[in-house]
A and B are shown apart, each in its own frame.
Chain A
């Protein structure tokens, strides 16, 4: 039932993307507003569906381990946030993009940028619903029963989403630089957007790595074990650290920063998909 709602949300995001593109082609402010409204609508339903999945997962857990007392009940709720398998991560990533985009960009989220975000979310949801990904809610395996699960996954994926926004701005920057269009945001605005979203992503990725390390310490007794996911998140972190140093202290701007943001997002994608499918390790329950 709920997975069908995600299908509807996917269509709404697709519609938002089309509206944004049409708004761009016909330079229509009204269509831009319509696109943004559509994105808000999709986000609202998406949020509701995520909460619904959370409730469903919690009720399933009640069958197996009825909690004794309020603390145990709270713990059970936290543990059963719908963030424990690959399907969950896809639909949560798809939620983070418009949520963070609408928050961070506000009215700058329009036209090609809005379309890009909407299309990315659409693709993630399409993959989740049509790509043969198992959408069943499964009981939690022992390694995932931790209060750190929620904060670790939320920070990590919000970080990915922020880097996706930086990537989107970087792509627009490179386009705009090659063939200037009056409808696109001017270069300095894009440059600033890349920088701001990168800072946000850097903060969130750092939090994701730290919480993951603390969790690993309580689960395995090692805060760092050079697991491929860990290593790739470090690689991603190093690339963005290089970007921030280059921009803040070497005065790099514009094209070179945009390319670094593109490179960083490639590392993000590999950290998320590549590691899960091509390499094995401690995070292998994600697939």
Chain B
């Protein structure tokens, strides 16, 4: 931001450090390094995982040292805080100057102080003003004219607001950081698991913490569809009804990438599942065996014939697009259990285990849908930051600042003499290119 500390009076060491660009570069690289650790060490896992994966000593170190939630630990937050102070200090330090520079108008008076870049003379009787006007407008966009005693001055300025660019970008970054903080402290982030047909009036915000809703929400229907059986899922869709005091207020469909907002909260389709609502009827076939059995969900059951036992581990309302299915675990004697899916609508894909062949007669099931429930007042700050950052970036990097003036004076003999003045604080190359072309165009009408 500020080029150096030269302008500031010998203030405190602290201020000098805070506004130094060396600190900025150092912090940016430190943040990058800490962020790398965060992508290498798995984040927010249960502590046992670290002990078993990294061993006792390293596991302890990572867990106690805050490396397992690094983006919210001092390792990351301290540099962020320092960077924020650094940015703030640089804004305080440099913004007033930049505003002053931008608001100082470019007048004929100030133009006369610019360094001279070339001279030209037009013969008596030739009025160069249309030519000058055309050349400047073509090369620099637009120009205006001022008349001083005995002089006509054409002024052209580009990138007048460039000095504000870096400050816009940095204010934008502060907005984004502020938005993050606001969301962290005043936002709500929870989950709502809702059975099909059920009504909820609270949602989970922590392992055992519920937050009441000031309305009710009902999951009318959940559907999962597939492009084709066995292929990728096409859509997860929850049809919701919002109620106030038992009265229906809004019906809406919530999909991935298509959240629903109601009463200040936004519901995002996050996950779903199937659960059984009663015992599952299976058909067993085998040696002299052809009978139906009812098996309760997730409870071991001896099979008729006594040649093994099963547990129904999962039910799925639409297993990979093939319709309802159950996941069975079969074990016989002391052997390893084997697990396999049995599909209701596709008995031909059916499972065999031991002497048995399984098919499904009925699966009483119900879908549930899981929603991410959010209220984040910081989002608009973040988006505001995004919107401010881009014009800042454009001004800072794509609008070279240049000032040009062409001073015309008429000699007593009646010939016009021109002096081209101009300067650009940082963009030497663009400036040189403009200078070359301007001089060429201006001298086209002169005899020399």
Contacts and interface: CB of A to CB of B under 8 A. Distances in A.
B1 A249 contact: yes
B31 interface: yes
B35 interface: yes
Contacts of A275: 39
Interface stretch (B8-16, B121-129, B147-155, B227-235): B227-235
A218 B21 contact: no
Interface string B392-429: 01000110000000000000000000000000000001
A150 interface: no
Given A143-B257, A145-B257, A231-B35, A249 B21 contact: yes
A228 B31 contact: no
Nearest to B374: A221
A142 interface: yes
A238 B28 contact: yes
Interface residues of A, number: 43
Interface string B239-272: 0000000000000000111110000001010100
Contact of B29 (A139, A145, A238): A238
Given A221-B268, A238-B31, A242-B25, A143 B393 contact: no
Interface stretch (A118-126, A158-166, A209-217): A209-217
Interface string A246-279: 1001100000000000000001000000010001
Contacts of B36: 235
A68 to B, nearest CB: 16
Contacts of A138: 231-232
Nearest to A64: B227
**Main secondary structure on chain A at its contact with chain B?**
helix
B20 to A, nearest CB: 10
A214 B383 contact: yes
A224 B383 CA distance: 12
A261 to B, nearest CB: 14
B25 A246 contact: yes
Interface residues of B, number: 47
Interface in B22-59: 22, 24-25, 28-29, 31-32, 35-36, 38-39, 43
Contacts of A22: none
Given A64-B227, A139-B227, A143-B256, A242 B236 contact: no
A142 B372 contact: no
B215 interface: no
Interface string A121-142: 0000000000000000011011
A231 B42 CA distance: 13
B29 A142 contact: no
A210 B175 CA distance: 14
A268 B259 CA distance: 32
B386 interface: yes
Contact of A223 (B38, B71, B379): B379
B21 A242 contact: no
A235 B383 contact: no
Centre residue among B2, B25, B270 by max chain A CB count within 10 A: B25
Nearest to B393: A203
A218 B383 CA distance: 13
A18 B439 CA distance: 42
A267 B36 CA distance: 10
A146 B374 CA distance: 20
A57 to B, nearest CB: 13
Given A235-B35, A246-B25, A279-B39, A218 B259 contact: yes
A199 B376 CA distance: 32
Contact of B257 (A146, A245, A267): A146
B113 interface: no
Nearest to A219: B257
Contacts of B1: 249
Nearest to A143: B256
B389 interface: yes
Contacts of A142: 233-236, 255-257
Contact of A250 (B25, B232, B376): B25
B201 to A, nearest CB: 20
Interface in B161-201: 180, 189
B299 interface: no
B3 interface: yes
B180 A224 contact: yes
A101 to B, nearest CB: 19
B227 A239 contact: no
B360 interface: no
A189 B28 CA distance: 27
Interface of B: 1-3, 21-22, 24-25, 28-29, 31-32, 35-36, 38-39, 43, 71, 180, 189, 227, 231-236, 255-259, 266, 268, 270, 372, 374, 376, 379, 382-383, 386, 389-390, 393, 397-398, 429
Given A203-B393, A221-B372, 10 more contacts: A141-B232, A206-B389, A218-B258, A221-B376, A222-B372, A226-B71, A228-B39, A238-B31, A245-B25, A249-B2
What 3 pairs across the A-B complex have the smallest Cβ distances?
Answer: A142-B256, A221-B268, A242-B28
5 contacts: A65-B234, A142-B255, A217-B379, A238-B32, A267-B32
